[in-house]
């Protein structure tokens, strides 16, 4: 069995721990959190051998690590994992700053690390189907892409001031767009606007909209907002649409696969992290499958650390465009 440490037991860390526990090739060796009680609770729930508050100690006696802490800790912890030559799955964004992200990518290259970033949309069958239709030419030449993602005001406030929504939320959409446009185009420049007011107490915008121009002429838009009401079905609104010269493809999240009418109305998640008969399923499980195979030398992660860096470069350019009120060229050729 491959022994795994999960560092960080918040929302995504718990999902990763659950998926590791359920995997036939992996053993949940250690969970880590600065909150000792939370680490202990998660360890007991998912059968981890150890619950610790110190990630350095946790990296002793494991074969790989998943880092799911707040992004301010990502670079330090990711580099610690890489310095031990351990396979790494790193939550997005891969660091608090582009410079830190570049350092993580560079270190991974130096040691030829087995590593990936947690862009779960790449493991979502709906997004994967749209991607496949685009890159195989079924849609013709790509003309325009549109990605939208919204979360509740309560979720925005839970995340608080720890990061910008372009980094912790819309970076998923930026990656999905880049992945779908593929190698035929790199982001050339971006523009953006924002609306502020409702979330001023945590110093983040209520909504942002961005335009991306690619080197091959394709254009794209990215919209994000964090002010949905608490009772919005599924707790999220997201969509992805691709228009080509020969056709279109689109995804809606959470979709209409399941609707529940009881005390209220809900459309629960069936694609990203649904729990089916007590076992983690969906994109989170598929990503853990991919990680396990990568550790065994059976292929690479669908989303590399470099993909995480490139998406973060674009997100930073969008934020700069918003703050400076002008078009911003993307400074990295491959972004």
What is the per-residue pLDDT across 2-34, written as a single tens digit (0 to 9) for each? Answer: 999 999 999 999 999 999 999 999 999 999 999
Q: 257: domain CATH number?
A: 3.30.360.10
pLDDT at site 264: 74
CATH number at residue 114: 3.40.50.720
- pLDDT surpassing 50 at residue 334: no
How many domains is the chain built from?
2
pLDDT greater at residue 214 or residue 261: 214
Q: Is residue 282 part of a domain?
A: no
Contact in structure between 162 and 71 (CB atoms under 8 Å): yes
Looking at the DSSP assignment, which residues form a beta bridge with residue 328? Answer: 190
> What pLDDT score was predicted for residue 256?
67
Residue 258 has pLDDT above 80, yes or no: no
pLDDT (tens digit, 9 = 90+) per residue, 158-178?
998 888 999 999 999 999 999
105 shares a domain with 190: no
Whether residues 45 and 127 fall in one domain: no
- C-alpha 176/C-alpha 249 separation (Å) is 13
DSSP element (H, E) containing 319:
helix 305-324
My answer on whether 137 and 35 are in the same domain is no
pLDDT band for 82, please (50, 70, 90 cuts): very high
User: Which residue range is the domain that position 111 belongs to?
Assistant: 2-120+292-304
Q: Do 264 and 296 lie in a common domain?
A: no
Average pLDDT, the chain: 94
Confidence of residue 271 (pLDDT cuts 50, 70, 90): confident
**Res. 322 pLDDT band, cuts 50 70 90:** very high
pLDDT tens for 116-132 read 999 999 999 999 999 99
Query: What is the Cα–Cα distance from 136 to 138, expressed in whole angstroms?
Result: 6
What phi and psi, each to the nearest 5 degrees, are found at residue 55?
Answer: -70, -30
Residue 280 lies in a domain: no
Confidence band of 257 (pLDDT split at 50, 70, 90): confident
pLDDT at 84: 97
Same domain, 44 and 133: no
């Amino acid at each position: 069995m491959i022994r795994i440490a999960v560092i960080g037991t918040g929302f995504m860390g718990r999902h990763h721990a659950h998926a590791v526990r359920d995997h036939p090739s992996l053993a949940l060796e250690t969970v880590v959190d600065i909150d000792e009680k939370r680490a202990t609770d998660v360890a007991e729930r998912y059968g981890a051998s150890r619950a610790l508050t110190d990630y350095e100690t946790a990296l002793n006696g494991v074969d790989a690590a998943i880092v799911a802490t707040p992004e301010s800790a990502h670079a330090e912890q990711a580099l610690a994992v890489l310095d031990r030559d351990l396979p790494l799955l790193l939550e997005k964004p891969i660091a608090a700053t582009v410079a830190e992200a570049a350092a993580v990518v560079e270190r991974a290259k130096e040691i030829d690390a087995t590593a990936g970033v947690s862009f779960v949309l790449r493991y979502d069958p709906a997004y994967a189907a749209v991607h496949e239709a685009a890159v195989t030419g079924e849609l013709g030449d790509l003309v325009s892409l549109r990605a939208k993602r919204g979360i509740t005001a309560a979720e925005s406030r839970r995340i608080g001031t720890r990061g910008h929504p372009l980094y912790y939320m819309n970076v998923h959409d930026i990656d999905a767009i880049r992945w779908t446009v593929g190698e035929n185009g790199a982001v050339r420049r971006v523009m953006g606007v924002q609306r502020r007011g409702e979330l001023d107490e945590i110093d983040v915008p209520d909504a942002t909209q961005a335009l991306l121009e690619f080197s091959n002429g394709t254009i794209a838009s990215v919209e994000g907002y964090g002010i949905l009401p608490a009772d919005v079905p599924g707790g999220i609104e997201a969509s992805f649409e691709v228009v080509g010269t020969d056709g279109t493809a689109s995804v809606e999240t959470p979709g209409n696969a399941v609707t529940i009418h009881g005390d209220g109305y809900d459309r629960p998640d069936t694609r990203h992290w649904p729990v089916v008969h007590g076992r983690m399923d969906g994109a989170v499980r598929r990503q853990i499958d991919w990680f396990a195979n990568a550790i065994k030398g059976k292929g690479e992660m669908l989303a590399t650390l470099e993909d995480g860096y490139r998406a973060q470069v674009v997100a930073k350019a969008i934020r700069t465009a918003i703050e400076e009120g002008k078009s911003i060229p993307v400074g990295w050729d491959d972004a």
